[in-house]
Structure 1
């Protein structure tokens, strides 16, 4: 995905691929601030990411993967509007990290799927705030 000058891919469906936390972090690096130069380029390579929809259901992603994705989504470079993380194992910690993204007035994220993630009371409370 990083070989062209612009990542014109608008939607990526990676459901059921056993990505885990490491895979989630790798995908987060496509649109995260820590991997982008001031111009919005991935690793300063002249590559812009226009990914808007990312589907990561049923991938064994845990709290650490959710934290990586949340950090990337807080970036002013993040263009994602829809993220499906259903049927993972985010737990309350992962849900709280994603809730912080939703609380940010500058977020572009408008749809977040968290079905079957055992977010429990603490995660639900964070999402409700």
Structure 2
């Protein structure tokens, strides 16, 4: 029987996280001060690193070995985290849309109203077209 692991659970003390990331604990403290990897804190203010934090520390080491500066690494991690958040949000919205389409079929057709807003139409219905002639004179 396998137990699902929460990658964001703060499990590791700084010494264990440093060993898992193959870094010195002082390096982890420096990355925390720079905001590269910010671990959770216990009530006593000691750092607790998650599995995701350890994976990020390894990624920082890999990027640093390729010659990327700490500022470049910070920006890369920021963009990767933003990308992950956006992908999660997209999955949530897709799921909500699918649920809505399943629970309310026929209510998914929209058109522009006379005031410019969106109006819902029955499936297969068409809007009334305006046929007035407008003359513009400067």
Q: Same fold (TM over 0.5)?
A: no
Larger RCO (CA under 8 A, 6+ residues apart): 1
TM range (shorter): under 0.3
Query: Per residue, is there more helix in 1 or in 2?
Result: 2
